[in-house]
Structure 1
């Protein structure tokens, strides 16, 4: 603010003394100076009243307050906090794909006053429990069909040729035939997933649901291929009534001799294409068995990709096979190409976002049509834990 000198207010004011006046000149000068001083003071008061310094003082106060902050700038604290909150929410949903102008609003640090939030990294890897199922498909005979079922002609008897003399008549033979039908059965379920989860996960949630359905269907069909009843589901290897059995001779201890007997009870053509199947518990006991010379019946694989062997034939581990206990059938051996699996419809997943749209839910329907049946029971043989 410019200071106004009192001498500037005098302008062209002059003191004029009249000649011949009876008044004392000193009094006249004193009076004039007093009048001039009063006039100057009034003028200064008027100027101060007309000048409003409140706005200037307010600006100075703001500048001083901002200079005392840790962070300068003209941003409103409430507005800045709202920007950071929105940016952090987008970061949780989009991760590193968040727009750059929002990522820069986030601060990753460790402030003792809890002024910043450092979010932990969100991993895309899911932690899943192990789902085990029997690998019957890897050794069985699998076919795809396009109809509601498939029928296989079966010859149930052979001709009856006989030795005849030179002039004797030959006799008629009447071979018998039949057929086996394999019907695919339907395995189905559905699951509901919120639309928000599907959108915010960037496709991860849907992929996990599909994987969970595939694992569930694989486990259910593997169980049916081993122990299925054949009614509304595939027929299992262990439930077929015509598969013969070898008696173990003990209800609690596996016999090495009986395993050899079981294997050689099959014809050579089936035996040479045979595979052993049992669960892990039984396999652990089998590995300890030895013959009369102390040689282990089980042999490890000596080459990558080659299976372990029992009595020279491959072994597969099926989690659905029963444990060795009294009355059970813990081991089966045979040519698994005689077990036929037919696929009518591979697992189909249909996403339905419409019927549950009012609830904000997408319903995912999963369907599988598959059948299984033993075509030739004579190609298999089971071990029964019994004495007779």
Structure 2
């Protein structure tokens, strides 16, 4: 704050020699300067808060990203302010969706694709990622006092997972875009989640591993148990087949295991009883938890096979032995031109994701076959 000299006080009251007037004018000058300082401080605080919000700090960070994303969807990138552009990873007509949008989509994905909920999910920053998989272990042997020792070495193989691209698009009426009461972001999240969930769910179960993630049921190296009947479970002892599957895995993996099957297979399993006449499948009616089979939960996956000749309707194992790698989160491209003659704007959505089994020894699958 600038010091006011007696000379300035004198000049301030030069027109009237009243000492009271001189003091009053000096105080008014002080008040004006204090207000100017307060205004500048407030502006600096506002700029600092906006900067922190852009970096993901502060209570308004999520609101800023959400509002910026909605503005982009409704009006395009040219309508974004500089602060809004910085809150989103924007490039032309494409933005990387804000975190809460991606979280909402993933939450909806789980309703369609339960594999993602149970598998090990990681985010990667490369075109491919490789994980070591142990194929052999050292072995200790008993020896005499001075006898030669037997050498042994662990063996490893690399499992390479490549992210593949999944994409879809949604057309939205321009009139709906102009209607602020319309929950555009929520509708886009719901529509996107459904299309990606269907694609992911199928790939994580039956994907070919060349143009899409490698599926659980198409991976190599998984042990299998056969039913002993050509097109079904054996009529006399159907429960024995499931008991064999459960005990085909080491205790550690069996205790972490889950059963994977579709709803039709679950319906058939519900009829199976043990030697005491008790049903194998148990529902937790009080807590609403997943039904259990031999003490382990059942995961319903609509992409699994039905029971039939040479089909694989059931998988049992520790699903964390399947790894999902997310390379690019959801991106949205706003295209106002392709459907302009129909009064619509097209939104292209894409992501890159890969998947594969990293530990085949944690799984066993059931084949419907006589031998």
Into which bin does the TM-score normalised by the smaller protein fall? 0.5 to 0.7
Matched, 1:162 2:141: yes
Partner Cα separation in structure 2 for residue 298 and residue 313 of structure 1: 10
- 1:336 aligns with 319
Cα distance in 2, alignment partners of residues 356 and 291 from structure 1: 61
| SS of match in other structure, 1:307 | strand
Query: What is the CA-CA distance between 1:328 and the residue it aligns to?
Result: 0.6
**Preserved CA contact (<8 Å) 1:198 1:206:** no
The TM-score with structure 2 as length reference comes to: 0.64
- Among 187, 201, 213, the alignment partner of 2:192 is 213
Name the CA distance, whole Å, in 1 between partners of 2:154 and 2:184.
59
Query: Larger relative CO (CA 8 A, sep 6+): 1 or 2?
Result: 2
CA contact (8 A) 1:328 1:384 kept: yes
Task: Give the greater-gyration-radius structure (CA).
Answer: 1
**Is 1:264 matched up with 2:247?**
yes
Which is worse superposed, 165-174 or 306-315? 165-174
Q: Which residues in structure 2 correspond to 1:1-388 (within 5 Å)?
A: 133-200=112-179, 202-204=181-183, 207-254=186-233, 255-353=238-336, 360-388=343-371
Whether the aligned pair in 1 keeps the contact of 2:132 and 2:156 (CA below 8 Å) is yes
Change (3 A) 1:147 1:305: farther
Instruction: Say whether the 8 Å CA contact 1:133–1:223 is kept in structure 2.
Output: no
| RMSD of equivalent CA atoms | 2.3
Between the two proteins, the alignment pairs up a number of residues equal to: 258
Aligned-pair CA distance for 1:206: 6.1
Alpha-carbon distance change, 160 to 350 in structure 1, aligned in 2, over 3 angstroms: same
Q: 1:371 to 1:165 in 2, by over 3 A?
A: same
SS for the counterpart of 1:320 is coil
TM-score (norm 1): 0.61
Q: In structure 2, what is the Cα distance between the partners aligned to 1:252 and 1:360? A: 54
**Which structure 2 segments of 5+ residues have no match?**
1-109
